[in-house]
Every structure is written in C-alpha cells, then in structure tokens.
A and B are shown apart, each in its own frame.
Chain A
C-alpha cells in the first residue's frame, strides 16, 4: 500500500509515522508524477492558504481532484479538511477547493493559536468499521469548524456542546472514501482515523 502524504507544508512527519506503524509505504507528494502512483492520499495540517499557493505552483490541483474523484481513499486533517471541503468561509477567495466532501467549513472557527484545546470525542461510530470505540483524544489547533453537513456525508464524531455552543459540532466526517477531521489525530499517535482510510483501501482491493 503506497500512501501519498501531501508534503508541500505542514505536519508531514507525524502522518508518516502513523502510516508506517500501520504497515503502509509512505510517499511524500510534491509532484503530479507522485500523485499518479499512490493508492491513497493524506492531506496534512498546515496553512491552507500557503498550501493553496504551493498546490497551484506545483500543478497538483487537477491531478489530486482527478484521483479523489476516481475514488482513491483520502484523509484530510485540519488544513487538509479545508482543502477537501465543498465550501469555505473566512478563507481567501483564491484558496484551492478540491470539493470532495459536501460540507461548509469556517476557517479558524475555534479562534487563534492561544485558543487551541484538547477534548475527548465519543468514538462509538467507529465500531461499525471494526475499530476500537474508546474515546478519541483530539487536539484542535486553529481548527476549522463544520457549519453545514450535506445529506451524503456521515458524521463519525462530534465535539460535545461547550459554553456558547448548544449543539454538538461535527469534527470527524466521511463521504464515500474521503475522511476529514478538524483535529490532529497524528499529533497524539491516534491511529484509528488513518485506519478508516486504509480500511477503504483494503475494501477496494478485495472488491
């Protein structure tokens, strides 16, 4: 299993460590040639504006869009979620939208760097994929918030209501073979989010 981690900017090495521990071969993606040869894609956390500039400069937007549309299992965390969203609020008008998941996200919805926080998420929904359902310890750093979820999108985990917010907020979602997380599973060694994507890959291989 060759899993490509977009390596334009951001926390590439943590994703590499988790994927390697799950038995995947990691390819750092910096060119269209590399995008063409991997079996799954990971878009890491970082700055979505900087990644947008670099995606265009490296001619990666169309190759990524085509592979994702062709059903290649894909994970996006934090900035990666923003890149994969259908619609982005509080972003820059020129930022890249791969539009692979029918959600609307708001950039920096939880505030600035000093408002970063950690929370435990109920992971009952992961049981359906044969994964452990112990709570997910989630780290949110200048995280995007999901403000709209399309009908074909599955919510796998939510953030419990907090002061000023009455409804649970979706933070781990899936549409088809694309999984997006507002938090950083890679920073705390949480492997189940990556397993969701590798599971989709195995299913595709056995089908």
Chain B
C-alpha cells in the first residue's frame, strides 16, 4: 500500500498517466477544494476590487474587511427557500444547474497546474477542454427554456447564439497556437495541455510572443472570445441585468442559483487556464530566457513564499490600522489570525522540497489570477454590447482575423 502511494511520487508524470487511481482521486479532491476556495476568494476580490474602482469600500462588516462575506452569502443561499415555478418543466429545470456545474468542473481534469500537477494528461487535452466547456451552453439553454418565462428564454437564446458564434473565433485562435507546437524537428504538434507547455519550454518562447505579432493577435482574439464565452461584461447579454433582469437564471433562487454562480466563476477560471496554457507558458516562470542560472532559479523559487509573506504583512498592516475599540476586537484578532495563516503558508513555501514541487502551481495560479483581474477590470470599465454588435464583433472582426492569423501562422511555420 505504501509502495503504491510512494511509487507515484517518484514517477515523473501525472497520476492519470501513471495509472494511479488513488492519487488521481486525491488530485481531483484537491482541485475541487482549490477551485471552491478560488471561487469564494474571487467573489470577495471582485467585490472589493470593483468597490475600490468605484470609490466605495465594498463588504466591510462580515469579518475583517468583509473576508467572511462570501461565506455568509453562501450560507444565506443555502438556507433560502428553493422556488420552482409552477409552470416550469421540473426535470429540465432541475437538471440545468447540474449540467452547468458538471461541465465547468470536468474541464479541470486536464488543466496542467504544473508538469506533474494535473489529474491526467489526455492527448486531446485542449480539444477536451474546449468541447466540454462548450457543453455548458446546453445547461444555460435548458435553464432558460425550462423556466417557462420570457426573460430567461431570451437570455438563453442570446447565450446560445453568442457562445456558438464565439466558439468559432476561439477555436481558430486555439488552432493557431496548436500549430505553433508543431515547430520542432519531428514536425508533429500536440493537443495535450502538458505537451503544449512543454513545446513552449522547448522552443524557449511563450506562444504569445511567437511570430510577433501573430501569437499576440491570436491571444487577443482568444482573450476577447473567452470573455464572451463566459458571459461576462462587456458581453454579459444573456444575464444583462438592465434588460433581462437576470437572464437565464431569473427564475432560479437559493442553492440552484448558487450553482450557476459557482459554474460561472469556475468557467472563468477554466478559460483563463486555457489562455495561460496556450499562450502564457502555463507553469513556466517569467524571464526564463534572460534571467537564467542557478542564482536566478533560486530567486524565482523564493517568490511564491515571499508573495505570501507580503500578503501576511498587508494583513498585519490592516491589524494596526483597525480602530482600537472593543467592538473591533474580534475582527482584529481574526485579521491577525488570517495574517498568521498566510505567513505560515509563506514560510512553508520556503522549505526546499515543497518549494520545488509547488512553484509550478504558483506561477500558473498567478497568471490565471492576472487574467481574473482583467475580468473584474473589464466589468468596471466597459458598457455592455448590444446583441447585433456582439454578433458583428464575433463574425465580422474576430472570425476573419482568426482565419488570417491561422493562415499566416501556418505560412510562417512552413517557412
């Protein structure tokens, strides 16, 4: 048994490839837990960042700086009455959130958080991700139709049209990145997520900088299409609050609604990880070309721990800035405790075996986090597109651009 457990740790591959079911299950649980924490953190961060962009404070009451607000919200949603419209199609109404959540979580099976940190490595990895995430539109359509109400129906129609249209531009961008993987001596590319990052490692360039500006254009096409795919501002028409009240989930409440919420955020993380894997070098650290050598390796391996210590320092700064009043005693203690937790994690990340095993995950998550920040930034800045303009951008701008980039990439690759 112990052999079985340790044999994987010594193998240099993913649990799925090693055929180690135990570790695969462990990884699945880790990803599930990590994703849930990420969604909760994202919820808090979105509210805080958006609030600070909009000259307000955001949640401040539940927990120090509103840190417990997402948990309070989750609790509220769980104990809310579960309403199902009388005229709804019960079974489909019940299935829809499950479909959305299942697809949003399933894609993480192939997301490579590091060279060995993925549940498995399929040789159709990217195809699997794009395919499964395209299934989530089914859940949205089901939700809109089953609600038997006009606003959700229009929301569902909008989102199905939107997602099907942007999938094409997205697919073209993805294909041009995959073409770049084939530029090696063997001349064969790969669809495997890990393989794509390894190709970037072998070619010593992130694909966003490859064939300047082709890689960059493809990345931007994907970056726009992924916002549209996840129904976020400025492409949030399916749930356009001012037009359709809440779009396809207007009739949902309580737990079912929170499933949609969970799915939306994990889908955002999923498409961001596709972008990071395909163009931003996945788990590779930045400046791996210019800043080489053991010293730099050492320095970069310390960054994860240092950044956690910086977060901890920010927490302690918050502790000192807390009002010195009895009513704030619990909050101050809580914030100090959170700081200690973050500092502990930071110190743990300095331990050499942990450091070398985990820094992949850190770089990957940091890149995904930047992408998530962009999502929030878009939301704070842009008005919403109208439906016909959205279609125009998708079909008349992104699609021809995508085809052009694809053809040019192929041409440059052949030369």
Same complex origin of A and B: no
- Residues of B at under 8 Å CB distance from A? none
